[in-house]
Structure 1
Amino acid sequence: MGGDSGDLFDADYLTTQLSNPISLAHQELKYDYRNDLISSGYASYQILKNLSFRSTLGLNFSDRKTNGFNGPLSGLARNNAGLPAITLDNSSATTLINTNTLNYKPNLGNQHSLDLLVGEELNKYDIKSNSSTIKWFPMNITADEAFASIQKAEPPVGSIQDKPTSLVGGSRQLSFFARASYSFAGKYLATLNFRRDGSSFFAKGQRWGNFPSAQLAWRASEEDFMKNLNWNWLNNFKVRASYGIAGNNRIGQDLFRTLFSANSTAGGYAASDGSVTTGLIAGNVLANPNITWEKNISGNLGFDIDLFKSRVSIALDLYDNRTKDLLLNANIPPINGYNTQQQNVGKTQNRGIEVQLNGVAVRTRDFTYNVGLNFSFNKNKILELQNNVQSYVAQSGWVNSLADFKIEVGKPVGQFYGFVSDGRYTVDDFTSVLNTSTGVYTYTLKPGIANSRVLLGNREPQPGDMKVKKLSNATSMVISDDDKTVLGTSQPKFTGGFNNQFAYKNFDLSVFMNFSVGNKVYNANKIEFTSQYNVKDNNLLATMNDRWKNFNENGVKVTDPALLTAMNANTTLWTPTTGNYALTSYAIEDGSFLRISNVTLGYTLPQSLVKKTGFISKLRVYGTVNNLYTFTKYTGYDPEANTRRSNPLTPGIDYAAYPRSRYVLAGINLIF
């Protein structure tokens, strides 16, 4: 390490934008201090024999301070003359939830059971925060010194520090609800629910939503005609049906109105150093006073079956869930002065089958083995888009201006959209001409060969360059957006879990696994790290060791067709691309996996030993490993990575995702 840059990996890091990741980790420091108070309580009163009142109050308070230090190698410092900078963030948040209910259970005899409940709930959230960024500290200052002496930061001549920012915000939700549950003879069951929710995320006149639901059930195994069949192997058979509406208001604050913020470096103001008088600018999303609750309409038909003295249980559910008035950030004509607006647009459908199997596989005096298995087969489909649009392309946002998703009516959410990889150009794709004076061959594409210059910085292809398929009927062989197609979807064919629980005398062991089959993952890392578009000298993936080579072992560029072919007889990949990033099928991988999610081993001390303590009734020690191992063909760190979660229409992208951690936990359970 050494030198003022602290980085011998590339002393010219300000130019190359490259640095040793170990050095960088020591220079990007974050100190997070947090105090949380979590409290709850309730009071109940029996008004009459069958009438009771209950009030629950929950109050959570969080106070957080975050100090960040950014050394010379950090991105923040690089944008400010390579000098260290710090960020100081403070926030406090309060959440109050109060629920009040009246519950009435009349006595209707042995055959009838009725349970009535009405209530209201208030959810109140408030937050205050402030943030400051102080730049241009002395080169060799430490983090502790910078936090303790902000006055050491000296802006260059003509520049000033960024202005601090502050925020006061919050949300309110008021709900009223009612429930009626009825049962007759334990065979016929019905539950009716109604909710009315009001949210501060929406404008006056749009804040309230009504959400009814109903559930019916018939325990057929309690009918006389079923009992008369003498099916001793059948212990329970119940049929369930439900239908209801649920609401969603998970959007940002104040999207129904235009808010102005004080900013001197955004919104068209010319000063880049904050030196001009602060002006007021609007946000970057057009306000929409008409947005309201998103609605999820769910229908379900289910069957519960217990067999063989309840050693085997089966739950089967058929469902059809439709979401309408989706809360999405929709594209709008730029003539409005904005590109997007929060709107209630579109409809989606999720239809499928869920199966849950549980069984006691082995049960002896000293050993038991219980097993659980569940499957879910879901089919997702877009039913409607805004303004009767049938399809459009969308940007995931992992890199600017890359339209890499296709949103299409009748198709699932999460369609990856790009070019189909066709390997690389070989010498046989070109006509070669020798310049006898220089001894150098030049190459020209043969007629009928697709021209992938759009991937190559708009230069003509050469042997070893990436090649994609020509899919359109255009007469020109130059690849264009018309040659893009759907490359797959993030939606799996089915998912599930497998739970195993063992017990032998005082030992217990549980193993839980989950799996997904048929989903694709968009590995954006493969695009960036097989390319030289952004940075010419960055490291590439190890797979690029198998790339096409244009230079021999002596560092001499080879153009002779025969020699080039011989040099690359055992290589399979193309030369790193120099054009802008583009999605090809090379980056779309099978995301199927089987993950050992949790393994827990425990031992319960014999009662004969525990009783001797005189105050302990049970003592169990255990050890747990989470994320033990994942079986997958996916080449990234995590087949479940999803780094573009802000847009529900662009799922399944793995871009710089932090690897899923594995951790080991040991503990003691004590019951006194």
Structure 2
Amino acid sequence: MVTGKSEKVVGNPDVTWEKKISYNIAAELRFFKDRLSITADLFKENRNNILTTLETVPGIVGADVSVLPPVNVGKMSNKGYELSILWRDNISDFNYQISGQVSYARNKIDYMAEAPYEYVWMNKTGFSYGQYKAYVNDGFYNSEEEAANHPYNSVDGNHVQAGDLRIIDINGDGIIDNKDVTPTGFSNIPRYAFSANVFLEYKGFEISALFTGSAQGTFSMGGYMISPFAQNKSNALEYMYEGRWTPENYASGKKITYPRMSLNTSGTQNGATNSFWFRSTDHVKLKNLEVAYTFRKLGFLSRLKMSSLRLYFNSNNLFTFGGKDLIEGIDPELSQDDKTTEGIIYPITRVFNFGFKIQF
């Protein structure tokens, strides 16, 4: 027996580059004898000819979307700003410098050749690229009576028990299905990114600090982060076991952080497409702190042919404020390429360094 070959995806010989039209307005201002500096930049960008697959071909044609060739018809827009402010001055022997930066960027899919759905929230067009979508959660079913009165749930063959996540029937048709999946949170790339730098120096003593942060970003939990014993080789995480829903935990008023315990959440109302698992990454982090002192006029330096000796201590990832919705170990700065990547939960590492620098 010889396995035959068949053509799958049809090629498109007319594929070309996408095109971009961008607008940019920038200003750089200086005041008070250059002690205050302000830089501002506004931008808008329109892209077209983006390569995308046609989803507007009706099924009566007999060609599945997966075999249609990609074409240059997609459109996307992006707009935002960047702002930077710096103040530096000295008072006698005291020197200081304070600066801050903030950026905002938001994109929107203007066209991607998809057929319009019954409800606007079901489309990707009109929303940001990477926008998460999920069933809207409204707590838990806390009794068998509550579970018995749920809308018909097509997500898991209508199997609902006490301790399951309660899904809202968004369109009010009495059925929980894909029509109730709506935009949830943002994408994993925050719209706002900001930082601040502080530098203080007095007669050889130096203190510098770097703060970073972000806002309007979302982390999507999945895989072993929501399924105990995932792939038959992992354990239940502490927050799953300690915070799981049980009649006793609910009756005692204990904070519930996980639905009823089950071996697998895939394809259920407790699965990754529930807004319960989407967490904000908004945070501020003390990224770096350094304290130093420089010796310059000591006798032993000249005897050792040294012009200066600098002693310093610095630390990275010292404190993180915010991101408390994330389970312990997830860094709010984490870039999420694959939400089920193993090893994604790793404690944020704090680094402490002591050192010296000699100049001859």
**Which band: TM-score by shorter chain?**
0.7 to 0.9
Aligned position for 1:354? 82
Secondary structure of 2:155's aligned partner: helix
Q: Distance in 1 between matches of 2:302 and 2:6?
A: 70
Aligned position for 2:313? 623
Aligned position for 1:461? 160
Find out whether 1:416 has 2:132 as its counterpart.
yes
Q: Distance in 1 between matches of 2:293 and 2:234?
A: 55
**C-alpha offsets along residues 486-513 of structure 1, whole Å, 9 cap, x if unaligned?**
1121254532111001112112221111
Q: Aligned in 2, Cα 1:634/1:445: closer, same or farther, shift over 3 Å? A: closer
Deviation of 1:423 (Å)? 2.0
Find out whether 1:383 has 2:74 as its counterpart.
no
Quick one: which of 320, 341, 351 aligns to 1:663? Answer: 351
Aligned position for 1:568? 251
**C-alpha offsets along residues 48-70 of structure 1, whole Å, 9 cap, x if unaligned?**
xxxxxxxxxxxxxxxxxxxxxxx
Contact 1:313 1:359 in 2 (8 A): yes
Contact 2:201 2:207 in 1 (8 A): yes
Deviation of 1:667 (Å)? 4.7
Matches within 5 A, 1:131-530: 289-326=13-50, 330=53, 335=63, 344=72, 346-360=74-88, 363-385=90-112, 388-389=113-114, 408-427=124-143, 429=145, 445-446=148-149, 449-452=150-153, 454-455=155-156, 458=157, 460-474=159-173, 477-490=174-187, 492=190, 494-524=192-222, 528-529=226-227
Gaps of 5+ in 1: 1-267, 271-278, 393-404, 431-443, 553-565, 646-652
Contact 2:75 2:109 in 1 (8 A): yes
Q: Distance in 1 between matches of 2:7 and 2:98?
A: 54
Q: Distance in 1 between matches of 2:64 and 2:29?
A: 58
Gaps of 5+ in 2: none
Q: Aligned in 2, Cα 1:296/1:494: closer, same or farther, shift over 3 Å? A: same
Contact 2:28 2:38 in 1 (8 A): yes
What code does the residue aligned with 2:74 have? G
Q: Aligned in 2, Cα 1:658/1:549: closer, same or farther, shift over 3 Å? A: closer
Q: Aligned in 2, Cα 1:336/1:570: closer, same or farther, shift over 3 Å? A: closer
Q: Aligned in 2, Cα 1:294/1:630: closer, same or farther, shift over 3 Å? A: farther
Secondary structure of 2:276's aligned partner: helix
**C-alpha offsets along residues 82-126 of structure 1, whole Å, 9 cap, x if unaligned?**
xxxxxxxxxxxxxxxxxxxxxxxxxxxxxxxxxxxxxxxxxxxxx
Contact 1:378 1:494 in 2 (8 A): yes
**C-alpha offsets along residues 474-532 of structure 1, whole Å, 9 cap, x if unaligned?**
3xx34211221111212545321110011121122211111112322222258633x67
What code does the residue aligned with 2:94 have? F
Q: Distance in 2 between matches of 1:507 and 1:282?
A: 73
Q: Matched residues, percent identical? A: 25
What code does the residue aligned with 1:389 have? E
Q: Distance in 1 between matches of 2:356 and 2:20?
A: 43
Q: Distance in 1 between matches of 2:123 and 2:109?
A: 8
Secondary structure of 1:389's aligned partner: coil
> Highest CA radius of gyration, 1 or 2?
1
Q: Which has the higher contact order (CA 8 A, sep 6+)?
A: 2
Deviation of 1:379 (Å)? 2.6
Deviation of 1:644 (Å)? 1.6
Secondary structure of 1:464's aligned partner: coil
Q: Distance in 2 between matches of 1:292 and 1:597?
A: 43
Secondary structure of 2:287's aligned partner: strand
Deviation of 1:465 (Å)? 2.7
Deviation of 1:310 (Å)? 1.3
Secondary structure of 1:489's aligned partner: coil
Secondary structure of 1:508's aligned partner: strand
RMSD: 3.9
**C-alpha offsets along residues 112-166 of structure 1, whole Å, 9 cap, x if unaligned?**
xxxxxxxxxxxxxxxxxxxxxxxxxxxxxxxxxxxxxxxxxxxxxxxxxxxxxxx
Find out whether 1:547 has 2:240 as its counterpart.
no
Contact 2:136 2:167 in 1 (8 A): yes
Contact 1:376 1:494 in 2 (8 A): yes
Contact 1:521 1:654 in 2 (8 A): no
What code does the residue aligned with 1:409 have? T
What code does the residue aligned with 1:311 have? R
Secondary structure of 1:346's aligned partner: strand
Contact 1:349 1:383 in 2 (8 A): yes
**C-alpha offsets along residues 260-310 of structure 1, whole Å, 9 cap, x if unaligned?**
xxxxxxxx998xxxxxxxx9x999976655444444443211221111111
Secondary structure of 1:371's aligned partner: strand
What's the TM-score, normalizing by structure 2? 0.76
Aligned position for 1:642? 335
- Larger fraction in strand: 1
Contact 1:642 1:654 in 2 (8 A): no
**C-alpha offsets along residues 434-475 of structure 1, whole Å, 9 cap, x if unaligned?**
xxxxxxxxxx824xx3244624xx36323333321112343x
Give the number of aligned pairs: 338
Q: Distance in 2 between matches of 1:282 and 1:302?
A: 55
Deviation of 1:620 (Å)? 3.3
Contact 2:107 2:129 in 1 (8 A): yes
